[in-house]
A = this chain, B = another copy of it.
Amino acid sequence: MFPLFALSVTLWFVLSGMGMIEPRTLSGFRDYPPALMIPRERLMETARRVYRSYGFAPIDTPALEYTEILLGKGGQETDKQLYRFTDNGDRDVALRFDLTVPFARFAAQHIGQLGTPFKRYHIGPVWRGERPQKGRYREFLQCDFDIIGTTSNAADAETALVIYDLMRALGFERSILRINNRMVLNGLLEELGLAGQTKSVLIALDKLPKIGRDAVLKEMAEHGVGAEQAARVLDMTTTAGSNDDVLARFERDFGGNATAAEGVRRLRELLTVARTAGVPEDFIQIDASIARGLDYYTGTIYETFLLEKLDIGSVCSGGRYDNLASLYTKQQLPGVGASLGLDRLLAAMEELDLLPKVQTPAKVFVAQFDAKYVGDYQRVASRFRDVRDPRGVIGAEVFPEPKKIGQQLQYAEKRGFAIAIIAGSDEFEKGVWKLKHLATREEKVVTDDELESAVDELLGRNVR
Contacts of A95 in B (CB 8 A): 63-64
Pair B109/A31 contact, Cβ less than 8 Å: yes
Which of B19, B390, B400 contacts A147, CB < 8 Å?
A: B400
Taking the complex as formed, is A73 at the interface, i.e. its CB lies under 8 A from any CB of chain B?
yes
Taking CB atoms and an 8 Å cut-off, the chain A residues in 379-397 that contact chain B are 379, 381-382, 384-388, 390-391, 393-397
Residue numbers in B under 8 Å from A371 (CB-CB): 154
Taking residues whose C-beta sits less than 8 angstroms from the other chain, chain A's interface range is: 35 or more
Which residues on B sit within 8 Å (CB–CB) of A109?
23-25, 31
Q: Which residues of B contact A239 (CB under 8 A)?
A: none
Nearest to A105 among chain B residues (CB) is B23
Whether the pair A161, B21 counts as a contact (CB closer than 8 A) is no
Asked whether, in the complex, the Cβ of A120 is within 8 Å of the Cβ of B273, the reply is: no
User: Is B57 in contact with A21, judged by CB distance below 8 angstroms?
Assistant: no
Q: Is A76's beta carbon under 8 Å from chain B?
A: no
Q: Which residue of chain B has the shortest Cβ distance to A368 in the bound complex?
A: B154
Query: Given A31-B61, A80-B88, A273 and B374 touching (CB < 8 A)?
Result: yes
For A27, the closest partner residue in chain B by CB is: B89
Picked from B24, B52, B400, the residue with its CB within 8 Å of the CB of A395 is B52
Q: Which of A205-213, A215-223, A325-333 touches B?
A: A325-333
Known contacts A91-B26, A154-B401, A276-B379; is A359 also within 8 Å of B37 by CB?
Answer: no
What is the interface of chain A, defined by CB distance below 8 A to chain B? Answer: 15, 18-27, 29-34, 37-38, 40-41, 45-46, 48-50, 52-66, 68-69, 72-73, 80, 83, 85-89, 91, 93, 95, 105-106, 108-110, 113-115, 117, 119-120, 125, 127, 129, 139, 147, 150, 152, 154-155, 157-158, 161, 165, 169, 272-278, 325, 327-330, 359-362, 365, 368, 371, 374-376, 378-379, 381-382, 384-388, 390-391, 393-401, 411, 414
